[in-house]
Amino acid sequence: MASSMKFTDCSPSAIVRLVPTTRTRLRSSDSAVLFHRVLGRSCPAYPRTFVSRSSISTLPVISASISTEATAQVIDGKLVAKQIREEITAEVSRMKDAIGVVPGLAVILVGDRKDSATYVRNKKKACESVGIKSFEVNLPENATEQEVLKHISDFNDDPSVHGILVQLPLPKHMNEQNVLHAVSIEKDVDGFHPLNIGRLAMRGEEPLFVPCTPKGCIELLHRYNISIKGKRAVVIGRSNIVGTPAALLLQREDATVSVVHSRTKDPEELTRQADIIISAVGKANMVEGSWIKPGAVIIDVGINPVEDASSPRGYRLVGDVCYEEASKIASAITPVPGGVGPMTIAMLLSNTLTAAKRTHNFQ
């Protein structure tokens, strides 16, 4: 039976734009879709289970086989992101003491969208928390594309700026690809430059940067000692931001990878063969328990608003995967929120530090 599912980008960089029943233009290879309130079946919120900080580096290897546990281990993205930020803080301090250089990240925001402004503000706070300098340009909604390109050019030439990020979405009168391609590949800390994606796809080549959300997904697997080599992996969604680079990263880790998308026939059957599932489709609770192989590991990138009268906001956030069902079948799973989301900004900070080290040949 052919799938009629709609797929979209659901990376945390797009999450800030999720408002129930609001149409949102996303950075995705698939067309933009409506994020709907889910009025039918939905899963209860996940139980809040956390791993102690002291155990994060000594977690047992989680084997993607039949689980003997009644409940899956929670892959705590908040905890891992906090650990990574602490590591970055130490490296930034070491670099400053050794050569007097502080990494710098520039963010360009066009328009007055409150959600985008909130996300940029969070990036600024994250930079400050680890000692990275932040540069910010705020332009009005009616700014011209040439104005944006001029600021990008200035940041490209500024030696104190090591990473450049253009907050999306841009106003409709701007060509998104022209703007993104104008960012110097050496400062493309978002990892979206075609040369970076091309190098990611080629054996024997290394990208300067990997897109932050898929990089965070793989980092979670590594930090929890989850074996990837030789495993069957399914990526649900094929956006340029998450799905496609996630599949390429898994392939680099020697997994056998399949991509489920809006034209895939029998997506449930294909997904049920996976030892590792990365879901980045943007459809609330789409992946039910019947889709999941016992003992599989699940990385849920989706963050979707569903109607919830008990919430002060009138809605709550859930993933692509029905957490209540999946947690009884999988061996490990990321919660939503608190899983992949915190990793995206942590990887952005990591990429910025890497850019500064590379520029100054600092080991």
- Average pLDDT over every residue of 168-174: 93
Lowest mean pLDDT among 73-87, 106-120, 278-292, 322-336: 106-120
Q: Mind giving me the DSSP string for 56-94? A: GGGPPPB-SS---SSSPEE--HHHHHHHHHHHHHHHHHH
pTM: 0.81
The first and second tokens of residue 306, run together, are 């569903």
Q: Beta strand pairing status for 256-260 and 276-279?
A: unpaired
User: In this structure, are residues 218 and 247 in contact, taking their beta carbons and an 8 Å threshold?
Assistant: no
Residue 112 — φ and ψ, nearest 5°? -120, 30
- What is the rounded average pLDDT of the residues 223-238? 98
Tokens of 120: 């940029």
Residues 6+ apart with CB under 8 A from 150: none
DSSP class of residue 289 equals G
> What confidence tens digit (pLDDT) does each residue in 33-88 have?
323 333 334 454 433 333 333 334 444 445 444 444 448 999 999 999 999 999 99
pLDDT for the residue 35: 31
> Active-site residue numbers?
123, 167, 190
Strand order in the sheet with 297-300: 73-74, 332-333, 297-300, 276-279, 232-236, 256-260
State the pLDDT at residue 28: 37
- Give the pLDDT score at 196: 94
Mean pLDDT, the chain, rounded, equals 85
The values of phi and psi at residue 214, to 5°, are -65, -35
How high is the pLDDT of residue 7? 52
Q: Residue 108 pairs with which residues in a beta bridge?
A: 137, 166
